[in-house]
Amino acid sequence: MSQDEDAPVELEITDVLDLHSFLPQEMADVAREYLDAAYEKGLRAVTIIHGRGIGVQRNLVRKLLERDPRVEAFGDAPPEAGGNGATWVRLR
């Protein structure tokens, strides 16, 4: 592995984070860093896509959101935006 392969990947911060391309053990850190960057950018309504599955990733994301003082509210995305496979988040 070259040094470039270990370099962090810079992603554009939009109002949607899709966690499908990340390993399960990375998801909490990725979601936390995403919330930091989204908040700093001034985004106050975001969606985190975690997938439906058996709910493990959804629960992980929501525990993180429950503990973050910047989070005003969150819940299942509307059906057309992923339903319970995604979580909408409103930041203060």
Over range 15-28, report the average pLDDT: 94
> Does residue 5 lie within any of the structural domains?
no
β partners of residue 91: 71
Buried b / exposed e over 33-49, threshold 16 CB at 10 Å, is ebbeebbeeebeebbbb
Q: Is residue 1 part of a domain?
A: no
Sign of the four-CA dihedral 10, 77, 45, 36: negative
Q: What is the CATH number of the domain that holds 73?
A: 3.30.1370.110
Using only C-alpha atoms, what is the Rg of the chain? 13
Residue 10 domain-assigned?
no
Report if pTM > 0.95: no
Query: Residue 19 domain-assigned?
Result: yes
Can you give the length of the chain in residues?
A: 92
- Supply the pLDDT for residue 8: 72
> Residue 70, CB half-sphere, CA atoms under 13 Å: how many?
16
Residue 77 above 70 pLDDT? yes
Query: Using one digit for the tens of pLDDT, what is the confidence trace for 1-11?
Result: 445 667 776 77
